[in-house]
Structure 1
């Protein structure tokens, strides 16, 4: 019975993360911040959640897949945007114990790097002007900068707040 309860918890956590990621992305889309070379998806703050639970890995991937249904890049974004998020979540999970003063300071790097490279390449390839290295670097730097801002200014404070909640739960 205990094993089934753990599976259910994993499934519920992943589903909740996917749902919240999707809602936050669609909220950013209403301000024209979710898709394209300039992205400030509030949902990307959640990409640091693999620090706490392995359920965040599939949860983030499913949330990204669902969010990218509305992207102007179509099926390519559903595949490559989701791949970037999945790979970033997997590496973030692996880096969860690399900390300075309890802060998982490397956790923002995988989402920034994977999204910059993969989504930047996707945008450059799908550009109406066709692929160019200048277009790639422009898109990669733009996507990476937006990701860095969100992960550092929203994601790390989210991690700190969740760590405090987790510590209080252990006390009681």
Structure 2
């Protein structure tokens, strides 16, 4: 399989996994107080750029199921894209989960505050705490497992940057 095809396959698989996990845990994936388990996957851009479109598309589809309408599809998916791009740029593993925590706390917190007419700061804090659980509590151990067992499973940053295909 060439690198471009591999990239697209990885992105599609990550999108599908994100959607399945989000929808499977729907009662805690949506709403003003949430722990979106699928957000543990937001650490993956640290390892592979294929996670950037994969997470974006996964969030777009998952948010379409969430019931909050087009604002969640656009704003929520955009927050995921911004966080994924920032995670990709991280140089230190310990900091990789930080962009999804901060970006979602601010953007999703503000969106949910607006949609549910809730106080802004507490809503941002609740979203941020849910992100800490998902990204550091689940995502960071996931990163450790990937480093130990699974980095050969996808196309890495190095492969993409050194590719002429």
TM-score by length of 2: 0.88
TM-score (norm 1): 0.85
Query: Among residues 65, 77, 86, which one is paired with 2:81 in the alignment?
Result: 86
2:35, 2:3 → 1: CA distance? 34
What does residue 74 of structure 1 align with? 69
Closer, same or farther in 2 for the Cα pair 1:168/1:90, shift >3 Å?
A: closer
Q: Superposition pairs for residues 22-37 of structure 1, below 5 Å? A: 22-29=19-26, 32-37=27-32
Which residue of 1 is the match for residue 146 of structure 2? 162
Aligned to 1:105: 94
Q: Could you list the runs of 4 or more consecutive aligned residues of structure 1 that deviate by over 4 angstroms after TM superposition?
A: 166-169
> 2:163 corresponds to which residue?
none
Question: Cα distance, 1:125 vs. partner?
Answer: 1.5
Structure whose alpha-carbon radius of gyration is higher: 1
The gaps in structure 1 that reach 5 residues or longer are 99-103
Distance 1:69 1:87 in 2: 18
Equivalent position SS for 2:95? coil
CA contact (8 A) 1:28 1:40 kept: no
Higher relative contact order, structure no. (Cα contacts within 8 Å, ≥ 6 residues apart): 2
Shift, 1:72, TM fit? 2.6
Q: Determine the C-alpha separation between the residues in 2 that align with 1:45 and 1:140.
A: 19
Choose the corresponding residue for 2:34, options 24, 34, 39: 39
What is the RMSD of the two structures over their aligned residues, measured on CA atoms? 1.6
Q: Number of paired residues?
A: 153
